[in-house]
Structure formats: structure tokens, C-alpha cells
Structure 1
Amino acid sequence: MTIAKLLVSLIASLIGAAHAFSASADELVHFESKVVEPSPFQQRKAAEQGKAISRPVATPLLGYLSRPNGDGPFPAVIIMHGCGGIRPNTKTDWPERLVSWGYAVLVVDSFTTRNIKDTCQGYLPDRVFDPYGALDFLSTESFVDAQRIALMGFSAGGIATLEATKAEGNEQFMDREFKAAVAYYPVCAPHAGDATVPTLTLNGELDDWSPAEKCRQRVSNLSGNGPPVELEIYPGAYHDFDSRDVAVAKSVLGHREVYNALAAQQSIESVHTFLQKYLAR
């Protein structure tokens, strides 16, 4: 074989390998948030008191599903957006990146079906049940390995991620559990206690919306008996440091947001290593 033919063959092989992990077109999917049924004890007490127990109602949700080519089964990542809704980093950048690493991805849209524009000045308490509805949905897909699904959230989505995977939280009422969790610039609850799964939290040192110090406190208050909780804090980084669409710094409700290429790259490498470690077969 000539050198020219060898090069052509090599390039073709590389293109084919890249194509094998290229994202298929995003698929709009429909599912429901998880609901927690009243326990037998609650039902019995209500009956004794002659009261009717109201059944929880699931919220219809939308999601964007991407996957590598092939049959799988692939490990998967469920993404929760921030208080401003789905943005380029959660809708495009991270799904494309994760698919290139070999993961199926489901981006949860918590707002559209609720007719919500944003919750940056409020709070959506029942959003913590959205990722578990997504987990139930994704676990039924034949191309997904239901035992290797991680939860990943950004800002308010990071808060939901930590809430959904804290010990003595809502996970204990769920049929399925996540394998790992990643939270980008969440507001940590210093006394939230241990996590139920290995967790990676990533904060900017200068973030004035999601203070890194609260996450330091959360880690320092862990019992040491739960799954590992890793915390990475990036010097000089503000909120949304991984968001390329914030190349020019802006102020949102008095808080600074700006992309930081170095922090973004370091965090991407950390997430890659973390997911490989905890979602490996």
C-alpha cells in the first residue's frame, strides 16, 4: 500500500470512529415528574381520622434526548438547567460534549410545560422531582444502561441536583437511584449532610451568586461515612464560568456572570475523569 493510500485509509478510520460517537439529532421527548405516593402509614392515619388524602399529580415535562450512534447500552447523564431556563451550555455544549464521550444525554425542560419563564427571583420547590421522572423515563430506553445514569445540574439545577441526592432526602422514596452527581456553581446548603452518591461540585472563587464558601462548609460538615463528595474551586472564576455565550461579562440581578476559558477547561477535564470513574462498567 502506498503512503498516500495509507493516509487516506487512516483518515477514513478516524472519521468513522468520530462518527460512531457523533450525536444524532436532538429528539424532543415527553415524560412526567416523579410523584411520591402517600405511605401506608399516612393512608392509615388519614382513614382513622376520616380524612381524604389528596393524591399527588405528576407534572408533564419536555426533554431533549441525544445519544451516540449504535445500539448501546450507553451510560447516561440527565441535565438540569438553571433559573434562567435552557441556555446554550445546557442545550448544546454539554450534550455534544457528553455524547462525544459516549454518553446518552437527556436535558430536562422544567419550565415550558409550567408556563414559567425563569425562577431567578423565586423558587420552584417541586422541581426536585423532575430528575427522577427523567430517570424513570430514561431507564426504559433500550440503548441506556439504567444502572449507570448520572445527574448533572447548573446553578439552580445544581441546587436541585444536590437536593435530589442528599441523604435522608427524596431519593429514599424513589424506585430508582442515580449513580453519581455533578453540580456546577450551586448554592450549597452547609448542613445538608451526606450525599447518597459520589458527587462533584464545581464553583468559581469569585462567584457572588453561588458562594464557594457555603460549599466548603458543606464538605467540612460531612460525616465521612457517605460516598465521596469532591469540591473544586477555580480562582478568578465567576458564575457561569463554563458558558461560552457569556464571553462578555454581564450583570444579572446584581450578580456578575462571565465565561472563564481556563476554569471551563479544567472543570471539563474533571467532569470527564469523574464520570469515567463512577459510570464505568
Structure 2
Amino acid sequence: MKALILGAALLVPGAAFAVPQVSAPPAAAAPATVPQRVVFPSVDEAGTELVGYLYAPVGVQGPAPAVVLMHGRAGAYSSLADGVYDASTLSMRHRFWAEYWAARGYYAIIVDGFGPRGYPGGFGRFSYDERPAEVNEVTVRPLDAYGALKYLRTLPGVDDDRVGLMGWSNGGSATLSAMADDKPGDMRRLGFRAAISMYPACGLHNRFARTGYNTYAPVRVFMGTDDEEVSHDRCRDLIRTAEARGHDVEFVSYRGATHSFDDPGRRRQSVAANARATADVRERLGAFFDEALAPRTP
């Protein structure tokens, strides 16, 4: 599949589909459900005890699929947390997506990888070179994602063959690194079935400069052309090159959308391009995981 660019229209070979004009969605309400706070180890060398917020699926009989959610550089919590870091202060965006997946019948776990390492409030913009090695998005945070995967597979309600990964910004970079086909074992059976990366930074510490970026499972990347924090074109080129080598990857570009375009708060959603991108991505992501995480055929 080719990289897609969305603006006034969705461009695909041979057709154009209008993207509906949508008003900015209202700010998210208080959590409809209170997640369960859980702890589990990362698979990093230190076995760091991570904190997770687990949302249960709605209306599911029998084993359900699951999604691991990886926060960005600002951490899992609201900027208004004021020193309180728990389920009540999870950011609006993380709450929205966890509840979105739970409503579709998935377990969803928000992984706090910064708080247990002493950085619950995350990091500011343009602080990249100052961040400690223990939160590195290429060498450490993917191990947090696999710790969450391992934990989910211990839960009796989770279908352990149907787990996906989703991350934003720095967590989106961790998602790309986690899905790289550079790991021992049959990751198509041991790893995540599919992944979604939202506006990642795609330099990835030059990890894949020599070998190229290759994935072991389907990956979809979503970015705005007006992203003010990371390079849209660098990610587009990374994913297009992987696609040209035959990997099941896709880059979806939203014309005029910014970084964090899917944040449901009024500031981001007051930008018309962000509102259009948000409406579209909510449809796309659900359809993608519903297909990619479906039970395997015998």
C-alpha cells in the first residue's frame, strides 16, 4: 500500500474520497470507568517495576484482544496533575484511547514507564538531549512494552495471541523500535500482532541506518504535515523505504495537522486540520486493529 496524504481529500490510487468537515470534539469528560492500577516488571536488565492502568473490555464473552499503550515524552499524566500521579490524573488523550479500545471489546493498559524511574511528570519540549539513558525510546522503552505484553498474557481474560501496541510521540518511536525485526525467536508468534505509531520521531538513534527499518508485523504510522516537534518527512521516508522492501507498513499523512493532533482537548481540536485528522484516525485505528488482531485462521 502507498503512503497516504489526507487534506481536503484522501488520496489513494484511482480514487478520491472526501474527508468530512467536522467540528472540534468537546473536551473529554471525566473517566467513564476507573482503571485498575497494576504493577509488573519490564524486561529490561534491571527488571524495573512498572505501573500500568488496566481497562477491561465492555460486553465481551470469552477471551478478548488487548492493546498496550505507550505514552509520549510528557508522560502518562495530565500537565495539571500537580504532583498527584495516579488514575485520576491520567492525561485526557490516554484516557480517551484506553476507553475507546475498551468500548470496542479490548483490554487496554496504559504503561507508565517514566514514573517508576523517577520522572512521573515527563520531559518538556526540546529536552531530547537531556533525557537520561534509562528512558531511551530505542533501547529501553520497547522492553517496557514487552513487559506489558508478558503481563497481559498472564491474565485469564486476554487472548494472548491477539495483542497490539500503540504509542504516541516518544512512545510512538518506542513502538517502531519494538516492532523492528531484529529480535531473537519467532516474533510473529511471540511478539505483538500489529502496531500503531502516532507522530513518532524517526531518527531512532540511527539504530537502523545500516540495516534499514524492517518490521515483523503490520505497522501503521500517522502524522500531520505541520508537526512542530518531529520530522514528518523523515518518518515518511523511513516507512516508504520499509514498504518498498515488502513490509506490511503504511504511512498516513494529514495535511495541516500538528503534533498531538488527536488530543481531545479544545486547544488541539480548535485547529480544523487536527479535528479532521482526529475524526479520520478514530475510524482507521479501530478498523485496523479489528482486522489485524482478529483470531488467526487454522
TM-score interval, smaller chain: 0.7 to 0.9
Q: Who is 2:41 aligned against?
A: 32
Give 1:272 shift: 1.1
Q: Which moved more, 1:261-270 or 1:66-75?
A: 66-75
The structural deviation recorded for 1:90 is: 4.2
Matched with 1:42 is: none
Q: TM-score, normalised by structure 2?
A: 0.71
Number of residue pairs the alignment of both structures matches: 233
Give the secondary-structure state (helix, strand or coil) at the position aligned to 1:196.
coil
Does residue 248 of structure 1 match 2:267? Answer: yes
1:79 to 69, 72, 86: 69
Structure having the higher helix fraction is 1
Quote the Cα distance in structure 2 between the aligned partners of 1:142 and 1:23. Answer: 24
**Matched residue, 2:294:** 280
C-alpha contact 1:193 1:223 (8 A) present in aligned 2:
no
Instruction: Name the residue aligned to 2:282.
Output: 268
5 Å-filtered alignment, 1:1-281, equals 25-35=34-44, 56-69=45-58, 70-87=60-77, 88-116=91-119, 117-120=121-124, 121-122=127-128, 123=131, 124-125=135-136, 126-169=140-183, 176-189=190-203, 191=209, 192-222=212-242, 224-245=244-265, 247-248=266-267, 260-281=274-295
Q: Which has the larger radius of gyration?
A: 1
Give the Cα–Cα distance (whole angstroms) in 1 for the partners of residues 113 and 150 of structure 2. 16
Q: 1:89 to 1:211 in 2, by over 3 A?
A: farther
* TM-score, normalising length: structure 1: 0.75
Q: The residue matched to 1:131 in structure 2 has which SS?
A: helix
- Distance, in Å, in 1 between the alignment partners of 2:188 and 2:248 is 21
State the one-letter code of the partner of 1:212.
H
CA RMSD of aligned residues (A): 2.7
**Distance apart, 1:224 and its partner CA:** 4.1
Structure 2 residue runs without a partner (length 5+): 1-30, 78-90
C-alpha distance after superposition, 1:7-55 (max 9, x if no partner): xxxxxxxxxxxxxxx97530000001013xxxxxxxxxxxxxxxxxxxx
Question: Percent identity between the aligned chains?
Answer: 32
Q: Post-superposition shift, 1:220?
A: 2.7
| CA deviation after TM superposition for structure 1 residue 219, in Å | 2.1
Instruction: Tell me by how many angstroms 1:260 deviates.
Output: 1.6
SS of residue matched to 1:149: strand
RCO (CA 8 Å, sep 6+): is it higher in 1 or 2?
2
- Name the structure 2 match of 1:10: none
Code of the aligned partner of 1:215: C
Deviations 1:94-121 (A, max 9, x none): 0111111111101000111111132341
Distance 1:155 1:171, change over 3 A: farther
Q: Is the 8 A contact 1:201 1:230 kept in 2?
A: yes
Verify the 8 A CA contact 1:77 1:150 in the aligned structure 2.
yes
Unaligned ranges ≥5, structure 1: 1-21, 36-55, 250-256
> Aligned letter for 2:287?
T
